[in-house]
């Protein structure tokens, strides 16, 4: 009787181990892909910062001669978009007024292991705002 019970449970540990291995692969895949998304987000934040800092240097010279530090909105937006446009795979939008310039950029990051779960890409975005300062 004991021999029959042992034979009916043969392979149970193998099946449990296989299921646990598959679950661990999904967890590791999620961690790897989310880590890549965080790295991409950090890179995008750096690009957005660079774009708004470049745009915030577009000072309206006529206003500066009058003693006011304000932006030339068209030039600030163009300068910021030039920085964003120099980065491959990055899409963005820049807005500028006479006091601030803002940039929002996005990038699609390909996943490594999450396509097995139906997630081939992750969209990552960053936003930055800057304004000119009186020296």
pLDDT value, residue 1:
47
- Note whether residue 135 is domain-resident: no
Q: Using an 8 Å Cβ cutoff, are 103 and 84 in contact?
A: yes
Beta strands in the chain (DSSP E): 91-96, 101-110, 121-130
116 falls within a domain = yes
Q: In the chain, how many domains are there? A: 1
Question: Does some domain include residue 60?
Answer: yes
Judge whether 19 lies within some domain.
yes
40-86 residue pLDDT tens: 999 999 999 999 999 998 888 888 788 888 899 999 999 999 999 99
Give CA–CA dist 101/95, Å, rounded: 6
**pLDDT over 90 percentage in the chain:** 57
Place of tokens 């646990």: 20
pTM assigned to the model:
0.79
**Distances from the Cα of 22 to the Cα of 9, 27, 33, 68, angstroms:** 21, 9, 16, 64
Note whether residue 94 is domain-resident.
Answer: yes
Q: Domain span at residue 64?
A: 2-130
């Amino acid at each position: 009787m004991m021999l029959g019970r042992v034979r009916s449970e043969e392979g149970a540990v193998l099946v449990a181990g296989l299921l646990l291995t598959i679950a661990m692969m999904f967890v590791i895949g999620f961690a790897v892909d989310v880590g890549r998304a965080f790295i991409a987000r950090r890179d995008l934040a750096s690009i957005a910062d660079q774009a708004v800092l470049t745009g915030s240097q577009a000072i309206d010279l006529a206003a500066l001669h009058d003693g006011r530090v304000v932006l030339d909105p068209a030039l600030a937006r163009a300068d910021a978009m030039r920085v964003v446009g120099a980065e491959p795979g990055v899409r963005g939008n820049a807005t500028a007024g006479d006091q601030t310039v803002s940039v929002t950029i996005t990038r699609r990051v390909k996943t490594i292991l999450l396509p097995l779960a139906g997630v081939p890409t992750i969209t990552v975005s960053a936003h930055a705002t800057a304004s000119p300062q009186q020296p």
